[in-house]
Amino acid sequence: MYPTSTPHTSGHLTVSQGHRVFWQEAGNPHGTPILMVHGGPGSGASPTWSRFTDPDRYRVILLDQRGTGRSTPSAGDVDTDLSTNTTAHLIDDFEALRTHLGIERWHVLGASWGSCLGLAYAQAHPDHVISLVLFAVTAGTRTEITWITHDMRRVFPDQWEDFYAAAGPDADPRALPAAYARLLADPDPHIRDTAAKAWCRWEDTHVATAPGFTPDPRYDDPDFRYTFARAVTHYWANDCFLAPGQLLEQIPQVAHIPAVLINGRLDISGPSDTAYDLARHWKAAELVIVGDAAHTASTGGIGAAVVTATDHFAHLD
């Protein structure tokens, strides 16, 4: 992977419903533009994403999705209305930023939730996407959400029982994101904080399948923890605001766009069948399964596979 590039330009862009999204640029200001689509939902962007691209060839665009990072209003404010924070709104925000920056077409790189959102964006605006590099691939389906929040009890039974218990006595075990979303909207800050801690403990659990895994230090920050938990439960309780099977059914929209789909064989959080099924229907997509990797770019050879893909696509514009 390349060294992290320090952002050289940044700003807030006013979009719809009173939201202001924070963006940054790194790398070569005259390079081919690439949009980095972060995960979560709720993680926020980081300059470390620039490590996936050659700083001499790429103009790296980083965006904190609505309610996350330095975008306002924050999902971490319990009074923030999340009804104006949906997949369609985020796609519109990408388009608003593209227009604001004077970019005609750009590459798209997304991870985890960002792979789902990046693909949804490309399907909505295929004429503006040069290539897609997606890793830890997800498609936002009810099956995937139920797998992570219910069926994974088969892998982590004791941790799941704690996760379920923290959702409250009336929680439906097959609808835990909705139960947690209710707790995270409670007026009692203690209830909200307890729920956020429990949710993030489970987040750390279901990605912990690679040797040497260490907990995500971002969850130690109460502001990040609550913002993240509130955003992700909002999206997962609403099936990521996508129709059933939407991304797979709309592959014809992007069939001509070159893509690389990268997954770790040890990724239990986002199993490889999603990437496999998408690639099987996508003529221009290459599937890369990294045998010793799990859900994050720091495991196995995920980072190297992403760099190989972006290096390959750098000549396209």
Tokens representing residue 312 in the block = 């390959």
Q: Provide the 10 A C-beta neighbour count for residue 279.
A: 22
**Distance separating alpha carbons of residues 196 and 230, to the nearest angstrom:** 8
How confident is the prediction along the chain (317 residues), in pLDDT tens digits per residue? Answer: 999 999 999 999 999 999 999 999 999 999 999 999 999 999 999 999 999 999 999 999 999 999 999 999 999 999 999 999 999 999 999 999 999 999 999 999 999 999 999 999 999 999 999 999 999 999 999 999 999 999 999 999 999 999 999 999 999 999 999 999 999 999 999 999 999 999 999 999 998 887 778 888 999 999 999 999 999 999 999 999 999 999 999 999 999 999 999 999 999 999 999 999 999 999 999 999 999 998 888 767 999 999 999 999 999 98
Q: What radius of gyration do the chain's Cα atoms show? A: 18
**Distance separating alpha carbons of residues 201 and 112, to the nearest angstrom:** 18
Dump the DSSP string for 35-91. Answer: EEE--TTTT---GGGGGGS-TTTEEEEEE--TTSTT-BS-TTSTTS-GGG-SHHHHH
Q: State the catalytic residue, choosing from 5, 107, 267, 272.
A: 267
Positive or negative: CA dihedral 222, 97, 250, 301: negative
pTM reported for the whole predicted model: 0.97
Question: Does 46 qualify as catalytic in the annotation?
Answer: no
Question: Does 272 qualify as catalytic in the annotation?
Answer: no
Q: State the catalytic residue, choosing from 38, 89, 150, 295.
A: 295
Q: State the catalytic residue, choosing from 43, 71, 112, 272.
A: 112
For residue 286, the SS3 value is strand
For residue 200, the SS3 value is helix
Question: Does 162 qualify as catalytic in the annotation?
Answer: no
